[in-house]
Amino acid sequence: MQEMILIIDFGSQYTQLIARRVRELNVYCEIHPWNKIPTLGNHVKGVVLSGSPFSTRDPQAPTPDLTEIKGKYPLLGVCFGAQFLANNFGGEVLPSTIREYGRANLSFVDKEHELTKGMSDNSQVWMSHGDTIKNVPDHYKIIASTHDVSVAGYHIEGEMTFGIQFHPEVYHSLEGSTLLKNFIVDICGCDQSWTPDSFVESTVNELRAKIGTDKVILGLSGGVDSSVAAMLLHKAIGENLYCIFVDNGLLRKNEFQSVLDSYKGMGLNVKGVDASEKFYSELKGLTDPELKRKAIGKVFIDVFDEESKLVTDAKWLGQGTIYPDVIESVSVNGGPSQTIKSHHNVGGLPDYMKLQVVEPLRLLFKDEVRRVGKSLNIPSEILGRHPFPGPGLGIRILGEVTGEKVRILQEVDAIFINGLKEDGLYDQVWQAGAIFLPIQSVGVMGDERTYENAVALRAVSSTDGMTADWVHLPYEFLAKISNKIINQVKGINRVTYDISSKPPATIEWE
C-alpha cells in the first residue's frame, strides 16, 4: 500500500493546509475525523493531530482514543493537538492570561533537536489559541518558546511524540515547512515517492482492478477536473469509458463546440448533448443560490440517467470531484468541519439511477490535478484553463436565470477573458469571470438616459481554491475592458470590480 501520513481532524480551519503541506513534500496523506480513526498498518508512517475550534478543557471537546497510536507511531500534535497531549497525559492546560492570535516570534528554539533543527532564533510563527499549556510532566522536554508562552513546543522523551502550539502549515509560520519536513521525512521516514507519475500508475491500476470490463459513463464539463478524470479512466479502461459533454446553456460563449472538438482530438469516446432548454425550464422562477445549484444538479443527473440507458450495461458514473469539493460540501469523511455550500457533484446518486460512483480525483487538490494532467499529456489549452463552476453561469447570474441574461453575461465574460489573454494577464490569474448583478442603474449614453444592468468582474489568485486573494489588475486594463463591455454589450451600462478575498468572501458570489 502507498505509504501515508494520517491527519486526525478536530475541526480546524487549517486542517486542509496541513494536508497540502505534507503533499508538497511528495508524501501522500489522508484526513480522517477524530471519532472515525481508521485501522493503522505499516503503510502509515506517522500521525498529525490538527487544531480545533474547541478548548481541550471543554466537556464537549474531542477525545480521541490514541491507544493504538501514541508511543507506537511518530505523532505530532498541532495547537489543540499539542494541548490534548499535554492535558490528557499528565500536564495542565489553562485559559491564557495573554492570548496569542496571528504572528508571534520564538524566543527559544532547540536547533539541535530532530523536530526543530534548521529553524532560526526569533523565527516567526502563526498562533491561534486562547488556552496555554501551563505545566508538562518531567519527561516532556521543551524545545520551543515564545516571549508569552513557555511551552510552544515539546518532545515526550522515550517516544516519538511531539507537540507544537503554533501552526507550521500556515504560510506566516516562515519556517513551518522546515519543521514539517523534519517530522515527515526524517522522523517518520517517508521516502517522498508520491509524485504525479506514481499517482497515475497507482490510480490506473486501482481503476482497472475496481472496474474490470464494466462500462463507465462520465459527465465532462470542459474543465480541468473532469478532463483529467476522463483521461485517467480512458487510460485504465479505454473504449469502455463513455463520456457525455452536456450543453447546459450555462457555458461560456462558443464553449460547447470548441471543447467538444478538443475532447475528440484527445481520443476520448465522447458524445455532445444539448440539454439547455431542460436547464432553463428547471431554473425558471428560482432565485435562491442553493435551490439553483440543486436544480442544476438534478438536471445533470436526469440527463445522465437518460444517456446511461443508451449505453448497454453501464455500471459506473465517473465524476471529477476533488478534495475542496468534498471539504466544502460535507464534513471531511463525516468529521466536524463546517459545511460551506453544496456542490452538484458530491453526495452520490438517487436510488433510481443504478450506477456506482467512481471519483479518481477525490483526494486531490486543484494544483495536484493539473500536475497529474501534465503527466497524462493533456493539452495545455485545457490544463491551463481557469476553474469554472459546475453550475456554470447559473451561479454567476444573481437572481433568476433567463436565456437573455445568459446571452448578456456570455458576451461580457468573453470580452473579459479574451482581454486577459490578449494582455498577457490570463496566466497570472487563477480564476476570473463576470457576475450579472440583480440591480439596474441610471446611465447616460449619448444624450439619452439609460436604466440598465450592472455586472461585476472577478479575478483571484490562489493555489487550490481553499483561500484566494483578489488580483490587482492594472487600472488601464480595467478601464479598457469596462469601456468595451459598455459599448459592445447591449443591456449593460455599469461595470464594477470585486476586491474581496476568500475568506471572508467566497470566490463565486453564489
Q: Is 331 exposed, middle or buried (0-12, 13-18, 19+ CB in 10 A)?
A: middle
pLDDT tens-digit map of 205-262? 999 999 999 999 998 888 889 999 999 999 999 999 999 998 999 999 999 998 899 8
Q: What is the 3-state secondary structure (H, E, C) of 466-502?
A: CCEEECCCCHHHHHHHHHHHHHHCCCEEEEEECCCCE
- What percent of the chain has a predicted confidence (pLDDT) above 90? 61
pLDDT band (50, 70, 90) for residue 100: low
What value does the mean pLDDT take over residues 100-111?
84
Q: Is 350 exposed, middle or buried (0-12, 13-18, 19+ CB in 10 A)?
A: exposed
What DSSP line would sit under 306-373, residue for residue? HHHTTSTTEEEEE----HHHHHHHS-GGG-SPPP----TTSS---TTS--EEE-TTTT--HHHHHHHH
Flag whether pLDDT at 396 surpasses 70.
yes
For residue 468, report the phi and psi dihedrals to the nearest 5 degrees: -160, 150
Flag whether pLDDT at 348 surpasses 60.
no
Cα gap 295→187, rounded to integer Å: 50
What value does the mean pLDDT take over residues 455-473?
90
Of 210, 228, 212, 208, the residue nearest 220 (C-alpha): 228
pLDDT tens-digit map of 185-194? 999 999 999 9
CA angle, residues 121, 122, 124, in degrees to nearest 5:
125
pLDDT band (50, 70, 90) for residue 327: low
DSSP letter at 214 equals -
pLDDT band (50, 70, 90) for residue 353: low
Amino acid in the structure at residue 377: N
pLDDT tens-digit map of 53-77? 888 888 888 999 999 999 999 999 9
pLDDT band (50, 70, 90) for residue 12: confident
- What percent of the chain has a predicted confidence (pLDDT) above 70? 92
Cα gap 270→264, rounded to integer Å: 7
Enzyme catalytic residues:
79, 167, 169
Quick check: 238 and 266 in contact, CB under 8 A?
no
What value does the mean pLDDT take over residues 310-315?
89
pLDDT at 75: 98
pLDDT at 178: 96
Cα gap 470→432, rounded to integer Å: 10
Flag whether pLDDT at 4 surpasses 90.
yes
pLDDT at 57: 86
Cα gap 417→473, rounded to integer Å: 13
Give the residue with greater pLDDT, 442 vs 115: 115
pLDDT band (50, 70, 90) for residue 334: very low
Cα gap 508→32, rounded to integer Å: 28
How far is CA 127 from its chain centroid? Answer: 23
Quick check: 158 and 141 in contact, CB under 8 A?
no
pLDDT at 409: 97
> What is the DSSP pairing of strand 44-49 with strand 75-78?
parallel
Helix (H) or strand (E) holding 407: helix 403-422
pLDDT at 351: 56
Q: Which three cell numbers stand for residue 193?
A: 515517492
pLDDT at 117: 96
Flag whether pLDDT at 312 surpasses 50.
yes
pLDDT at 99: 58
pLDDT tens-digit map of 122-165? 899 888 767 888 889 889 999 999 888 889 999 999 999 999 99
pLDDT at 332: 41
Q: What is the 3-state secondary structure (H, E, C) of 322-338?
A: CHHHHHHHCCHHHCCCC
Q: Does the reported pTM lie above 0.85?
A: no
End-to-end CA distance of the chain: 40
pLDDT band (50, 70, 90) for residue 473: very high
Flag whether pLDDT at 328 surpasses 60.
no
